[in-house]
Amino acid sequence: MGDDFIVETKNLTKEFKGFVAVSDVNLRVRRHTIHALIGPNGAGKTTCFNLITKFLQPSRGQILLNGRDITKTEPAAIARLGMVRSFQISAVFGHLTALENVRVALQRKQGNSMHFWQSDRSLDSLNERAEQLLADVGMLEYRDTAAGELSYGRKRALEIATTLALEPEMLLLDEPMAGMGSEDVARTAQLIRRVSASRTVLMVEHNLSVVADLSDTITVLKLGKVLAEGPYGEISQNPEVIEAYMGHGVGSHA
């Protein structure tokens, strides 16, 4: 049934001055799952992601969110509909503490940006929810630390907390492990698994070990088209996928 899928694309296509970056992509993201979008360099992953999140407008095709056509909807309106892209919409302010960053996001959710300039007493009313969100991402002990002083991995955890403040039904993660050391990768993977318990996650990720461990479904793109789709055990044995990665170890979690 259609309502099993929170996001669907139909013949999604993007051309740049005659170059077809994404070609007739039909993607269906099942509700309450972690769905990964992978592929070798130049596969069209980022373009596809930007189309779904409306940072790019498709040349043709259709994008549905909960059965609603959002093909021409602006990114801010899509966020209000419950689909939020982390690391893009959620800004972290380096001079503010972790708690203050989450409070700003909560104010945005309330639609009261002027709240930012109100008294400390007014802002304190948001503290309980902000502390709960920090605890959800394992960041409560850093509540009073300036965001600019956090490690790269913890800064990303804070970004997820600010995104969760918007109460998204679907969370889109653009290369969440990029630039991380192994300790931060493990911590962030646990975090993604935890936050996915009550929402849907679509992510673009190069770390195939993370993809293997986290994803329910994987869509592999090559030259802008869907090459294969399925669970990791299935796609990692697909000869076309192995060839596309040219021995980069898709079957060995490289």
Give CA–CA dist 128/169, Å, rounded. 22
Give CA–CA dist 4/137, Å, rounded. 28
Question: Which residues of the chain register pLDDT less than 70?
Answer: 1-3, 87-91, 110-123, 246-254
pLDDT, residue 91, reads 59
Which CATH superfamily, name and number, covers 1-89+170-176+197-254? P-loop containing nucleotide triphosphate hydrolases (3.40.50.300)
Residue 193, classed as helix, strand or coil, is helix
Stated pTM of the model: 0.86
Q: Where are the domains of the chain?
A: 1-89+170-176+197-254, 92-165
Amino acid letter for position 75: P
Residue 205 corresponds to which tokens in the numbers above? 């990720």
Give CA–CA dist 184/147, Å, rounded. 16
pLDDT, residue 207, reads 86
pLDDT, residue 187, reads 86
Q: Where does the chain have alpha helices with state H?
A: 45-52, 75-80, 98-110, 120-124, 127-136, 152-164, 182-195, 208-214, 232-235, 239-244
pLDDT, residue 254, reads 37
Q: Is 182 in contact with 213 (CB distance < 8 Å)? A: no
